[in-house]
Structure 1
Amino acid sequence: MTLTTSGETAVSAPLLYEASRRAIAQAAEDLWPGRGAVLGPQRPGVTSYVCQVLVDGKELYAKYSWLSSSLVSILRGARGAWADVQEAQEPYVRSVDLVTRRELQHLEFLQQIGRPRVCDTAGFRGGVLFTRAVAGSTIAEELAVRPWDTAPLLDSVLLSLRELHGEQGARYLRQAWPINERSVVDVFSRKFRGPAAVRYIAGLGRGRLVGDERQVVVDLLGNAVRRLLRLTSAIRPRQRTAVFGDLKPEHVYLSGHRLTFIDPALQWAAGPEPDLAKLFGRALLLGFCHHELRAERQITEGVVSVLSRHSQSVSLGDRTDRAARLREVMVLWLMDTVNILSTCLSAPADLPLTSNQLALVAEAHRIAAVAERVSGLLVGSASGLSLLDAVFHEVEHSALDLR
């Protein structure tokens, strides 16, 4: 099959969106017949089709997934032409490993253990997951307006995950279906291993970046990817700890002193490192894209503080294991950064991106430069806190050099 570049689509976006809305409307009618469910516009994003649904004046959100693939991948032709996608989608929606069905199960489990608190489910039908709207602002929004509180905000998120990271989470996941499609390592491998990877990297940014800047970004990301492929051995086998899996600041809401999580993707890991990497890495990206240099520095300092403290608190007395865990966090952070940046750069022009994702595209040169520089440090001999210091020196240097 032929994959298109970001400026083109192999699958018609209007056809994909219209089919998604038909599935959601039918599911809403089946669940709440005659209640006149009203569908709102598509929510920006690259993974699943999501829209608001009003039922009797109550605000719900509907999520519909296509073949466990991102909307970007479907539109670029990763699952074939539109006829192929439609044919495969029908049995997929009925399958037991449907990703929205697994997410429903994860939400129900987390509701049982009570922590982290998660959004309420409202219904499931025809592959469509309905959840209730969550009050408050996201941690991403909080970081933007009070970056000086980065450390306590991140600490509060991690504190809410202690039960999940403990025996209760592991006991559940032993008899459940994980959502490995959202694993940082799995996403990175799908993107950058195999014969199509070179062409994929070469096409990044077409339609979103122009001229020499696009080629600079492609070259920087290519260097980072080649090094990260050599660093996969730093990721310990996933076998002991259940992690939230998609722990982005946008997926945690704060209302008063109460946190509520959305979009779980529970999966196995050797420890909590994948959750740390995604939470810290996405917070750093929010800092990169903040319009104030002072705010970026405050976010960066908050991340460094929490990461250093966490690193010192694990594997007490075993400096080698502590250093290995810290390196794993940084490798996963860099992989996730390359994953989301490449996804945004390869997104077709008619796929709506969130404001944060558009900001990543605008800062693509700087983010790619940081990824390239830090990947060079990670393949070097530095370890432990000296590696941490070197990595964040590069982050700070890029703020002065490329901002």
Structure 2
Amino acid sequence: MTLTRSGATVVPAPLLYEASRRAIAQATKNLWPGRAAVLGPQRPSVTSYVCQVQVDGQQLYAKYGWLSASLVSILRGARGTWAEVLDAQEPYVKSADLLTRREHQHLEFLRELGRLRVCEPVGLHDGVLFTRAVAGMTLADELTARPWDTEALLDSVLLCLGELHCEAGAGYLRGAWPIAERGIVDVFARKFRGPDAPRYVADLGRGRILEDDRAAVVDLLGNAVRRLLRLTGAIRPRQRTAVFGDLKPEHVYLTGPRLTFIDPALQWAAGPEPDVAKLFGRTLLLGLCHNELRAERQITEGVGSALSRHGRDLRACDRAGRLREVMVLWLMDTVNILSTCLSAPAGLPLTGSQQALVSQARRIAAVAERVSGLLVGSASGLSLLDAVYHEVEHTALDLR
């Protein structure tokens, strides 16, 4: 399916949002007949339609997705016209591979195992997943407020995931149906392989950023994408380890002394590298988009220290390969989220961090382009890590 230019739509946003709200309202009525229910406004999300629902005073969140695709893709025509999307949605909602059904399964499974504290699922009906609201601040908010604690905060997350990342964790989750389409490599391949990829890259940022900046961003990201496509050999085949899958700071809550995780996308991997890459990479983006230089440096240094220690803890025999894998995945995920935000139609609300990412697109694209150049070089292991972080700090400061 040929996509429209960035910023344009094939599927009208109001129709998509209204249909999503109708589905959520009907599912709420069916699950809790006769109960007082109020739907809140749409929450910013590029993947699914999300809103808060209050049922007899209880705060819940409702999530409704379309055809296992992001809202950005649906609006831009990746799954056809509005009529075609509607025709395909009804059987999709009833299908076994419904994404919200798999996410509901992951939440139930993790809660049953008790190995990881996750938000409570309270219902799944006609494709709508309901979860109980989680108290506390997200890790993203904590990092922004306490940038000097970056290293300790990241360590606490990986410590919680220790049992999931070992071979025993994979055994616990053997019955879970993975959400592989949310994997970093899978998303990157969908975006940047195939005949539509050059046009997709060429149209990034149209209607979102100034044309002079847009031309530079397209050039920088194009170089980074071409290198990353060559570097896919650094990603080891999926094997025995389970990973959380969508481990970004917005999906971790600090609830008192404990951490609570939301929106799992469990996948199989060769090791914890996909989780490490997404957690550390998205944290680094929070730093690069921070409005204070001191906070940016604190977050950047905290990520670097945490990743260096992670590297030192690896076996010497495979340290170099696993660190290179983390950095390739990190850059892929960075390019994935930046391109998603730059291609989002104007009618799709973005979070504050996503808006900041768009405003800093030229800096982020420059970092991705220069670091991808280092990754195709000969350096490896901790020496490569040191070189990468020197390049990140140098590039970000030059373009601030």
CA distance in 1, matches of 2:168, 2:58: 33
Residues 1:331 and 2:296 aligned together: no
Asked if 2 retains the 8 angstrom alpha-carbon contact of 1:106 and 1:265, the reply is: yes
3-state DSSP of counterpart to 1:51: strand
CA distance in 2, matches of 1:153, 1:111: 23
Query: What is aligned with 2:27?
Result: 27
Query: What is aligned with 1:112?
Result: 112
Residues 1:274 and 2:274 aligned together: yes
Structure 2's unaligned 5+ residue stretches are none
CA deviation digits over 1:313-350, x for unaligned, max 9?
121x42xx101000000000000000000000000000
Compared with structure 1, are the counterparts of its residues 48 and 84 closer, same or farther at alpha carbon in structure 2 (3 Å cutoff)?
same
Query: What is aligned with 2:192?
Result: 192
Query: What is aligned with 1:206?
Result: 206
3-state DSSP of counterpart to 1:231: helix
CA distance in 2, matches of 1:389, 1:341: 24
Identity %: 79
Query: What is aligned with 2:358?
Result: 361
State the one-letter code of the partner of 2:302: G
Asked if 1 retains the 8 angstrom alpha-carbon contact of 2:248 and 2:279, the reply is: yes
Query: What is aligned with 1:8?
Result: 8
State the one-letter code of the partner of 1:148: W
CA distance in 1, matches of 2:30, 2:268: 35
1:1-400 matched pairs, under 5 angstroms? 1-315=1-315, 317-318=316-317, 321-400=318-397
CA distance in 2, matches of 1:32, 1:90: 22
3-state DSSP of counterpart to 2:253: strand
CA deviation digits over 1:181-215, x for unaligned, max 9?
11000000000000000000000000101121100
After TM superposition, give the deviation of residue 112 of structure 1 in Å. Answer: 1.5
How high is the TM-score relative to the length of structure 1? Answer: 0.98
CA deviation digits over 1:60-96, x for unaligned, max 9?
0000010000000000000000011001000100011
CA deviation digits over 1:122-163, x for unaligned, max 9?
111001000000000000000001100001100000011011
State the one-letter code of the partner of 2:216: V
CA distance in 2, matches of 1:176, 1:119: 17
State the one-letter code of the partner of 2:129: L
Asked if 2 retains the 8 angstrom alpha-carbon contact of 1:288 and 1:296, the reply is: yes
3-state DSSP of counterpart to 1:104: helix
After TM superposition, give the deviation of residue 2 of structure 1 in Å. Answer: 2.8
Compared with structure 1, are the counterparts of its residues 168 and 32 closer, same or farther at alpha carbon in structure 2 (3 Å cutoff)?
farther
CA deviation digits over 1:31-87, x for unaligned, max 9?
000112110000001000000000001000000010000000000000000011001
Deviating 4+ runs (over 3 angstroms): none
State the one-letter code of the partner of 2:182: R
3-state DSSP of counterpart to 2:39: strand
State the one-letter code of the partner of 1:329: V
After TM superposition, give the deviation of residue 176 of structure 1 in Å. Answer: 2.4
State the one-letter code of the partner of 1:153: L
CA distance in 2, matches of 1:170, 1:310: 21
CA distance in 2, matches of 1:65, 1:181: 13
State the one-letter code of the partner of 1:109: F
Asked if 1 retains the 8 angstrom alpha-carbon contact of 2:11 and 2:74, the reply is: yes
3-state DSSP of counterpart to 1:24: helix
CA distance in 1, matches of 2:215, 2:113: 49
